Structure 1
Amino acid sequence: MPGCFKKTLFALASLISFVSSILIVVAMGTPKWMTGKILCKTGADLVNATDPELVKFIGEIYYGLFRGGKIRQCGLGGRRSKFTIFPHMVKKLNTGLHVMIIMFLCVAIFFSLVSFGFCILNAIKVPYRAIKGPAGVCLWNFLAGGFIVLAVTSFMAAVKLHHLTERIANFRENVFQFVILEERFEDCFWLCVASATAHAVNLLLIAISGIHFPKIKTKTEEANVTAEDIMY
């Protein structure tokens, strides 16, 4: 029974690792990490807009790691546009930090898949020459989760400390200046957080698999030895 229980835990851990890698891939490919509201400050200042009139100058913006879009509201109606981060916009951002976020997530995908493979090997007990057993699986999950945390933390630093949204909103805006009124982390950002949480759950499952449960033994009946048995 304990062997079957451990196999079930490792099979569940392998599934979680695979799902974690899928979540990261989906998050990287979707342009909805951040959304926000942007105010066309130049247009509002030109007409000296008051509070009720400011609605005509408030647009929207959304972006991910590779692309995004915005709606410019400068008093003449909304104008939609889409943009890509690479190759031109990234030069105006904190290039090193943005590339590091992408690299951290790519490494996290790699370690998630490694964890997936090692969980399967532990579940079916295939011999192999590498770091094996619960300690090895814990290592790969810890590395995968750690790199996801680094990516999420770096993205938050880019948004809050390096004013990423404002830089993107004002990219190639020679006439109008935009001010950020509101910022909100969207689903793709939280997918990465969920992926890191999944690896924390894996660590818990592996810890449970290391518990040694007592084996259930059937009680044997005592044999009655007679004098005749001893003679024969």
Structure 2
Amino acid sequence: MPGCFKKTLFALASAMSFVSFILIVVAMGTQKWITGKILCKTGADLVNATDPELVKFTGDIYYGLFRGGKVRQCGLGGRRSKFTLFPHLVKKLNTGLHVMIIIFLCVAISFALISFGFCILNIIQVPYRAIKGPAGICLWNLLAGGFTALAVASFIAAVKLHHLTERIANFQEIFQFLVLEEQYEGSFWLCVASATAHGVNLLLIALSAIRFPEFKTKTEEANVTAEDIMY
């Protein structure tokens, strides 16, 4: 029973590691990390637009790690455009920080796959002490979850401290745009879910280290008599 319990926990941990890997890949591939509302300040100032009229000067923006799009509203209707962050737009941003986010996520993908492999090895009981046991799985989950958390924290810093949305909105624009609101979207929360999955894995591995008492059936002592010896 204890062996089956541990194998079940390792199977769940391997599934969580694989799910974490998928979540990061999907998050990097989709481009809805941030959505927001942008105001064409220059156009609104030119016509002295009041609050009811500001709707005509309010557009939308969305972007991810590699590309995005926006709708410019400067009083003459919306104009849609798409952009890519590499190779030109990234030069206007905090290049080092943005590249670090991508590197952190790539490293997290590698460690998530390694954690998945270690879980499989523990399920089939590969007889190598350097591999067998929960310590290796905990290590790789800590690294994978840590790098994912670093990527999430770096992205938040880029948005809040380095005004990432405002820089993107004003890239190659004659008019000035202000960010009215911005919110994190599905791709961002996928990375948060990936880091959470590794935290759940640590809990599962901790449970696998619990030793359950083994119940053994008591064998009846044989009563040897003189008659048994004679016969």
- 3-state DSSP class of the match of 1:223? coil
- 3-state DSSP class of the match of 1:48? coil
Q: Which amino acid aligns with 1:34?
A: I
Which blocks of at least 5 consecutive residues in structure 1 are unaligned? none
CA displacement 1:204-232 (0-9 Å, x = unmatched):
00000011101121232343332222445
Query: What's 2:73 paired with?
Result: 73
CA displacement 1:39-60 (0-9 Å, x = unmatched):
0000000000000000000000
Q: Which amino acid aligns with 1:211?
A: I
Matched ranges for 1:15-30 at <5 A: 15-30=15-30
- 3-state DSSP class of the match of 1:121? helix
- 3-state DSSP class of the match of 1:208? helix
Question: Would you say 1:196 and 2:195 are equivalent positions?
Answer: yes
User: Within 1, Cα distance between the matches of 2:106 and 2:10?
Assistant: 24
Question: Would you say 1:40 and 2:40 are equivalent positions?
Answer: yes
CA drift of 1:196 comes to: 0.3
Q: 4+ residue runs of structure 1 moved beyond 6 angstroms?
A: none
Which blocks of at least 5 consecutive residues in structure 2 are unaligned? none
Q: Which amino acid aligns with 1:153?
A: A
- 3-state DSSP class of the match of 1:218? coil
Q: Is the Cα–Cα contact under 8 Å of residues 126 and 132 in structure 2 kept in the other structure?
A: no
Query: What's 1:91 paired with?
Result: 91
Question: Would you say 1:60 and 2:60 are equivalent positions?
Answer: yes
User: Within 1, Cα distance between the matches of 2:88 and 2:222?
Assistant: 87
- 3-state DSSP class of the match of 2:142? helix
CA drift of 1:130 comes to: 4.0
User: Within 2, Cα distance between the matches of 1:128 and 1:82?
Assistant: 52
Query: What's 2:219 paired with?
Result: 220
- 3-state DSSP class of the match of 2:48? coil
Query: What's 2:105 paired with?
Result: 105
CA drift of 1:11 comes to: 1.1
CA drift of 1:129 comes to: 7.0
User: Within 2, Cα distance between the matches of 1:231 and 1:134?
Assistant: 57
- 3-state DSSP class of the match of 1:125? coil
Q: Which amino acid aligns with 2:30?
A: T
Identity, % of aligned positions: 84
TM-score by length of 2: 0.97
Matched ranges for 1:167-186 at <5 A: 167-173=167-173, 175-186=174-185
Q: Which amino acid aligns with 2:106?
A: C
User: Within 2, Cα distance between the matches of 1:8 and 1:126?
Assistant: 16
TM-score by length of 1: 0.97
CA drift of 1:75 comes to: 0.2
User: Within 2, Cα distance between the matches of 1:128 and 1:42?
Assistant: 67
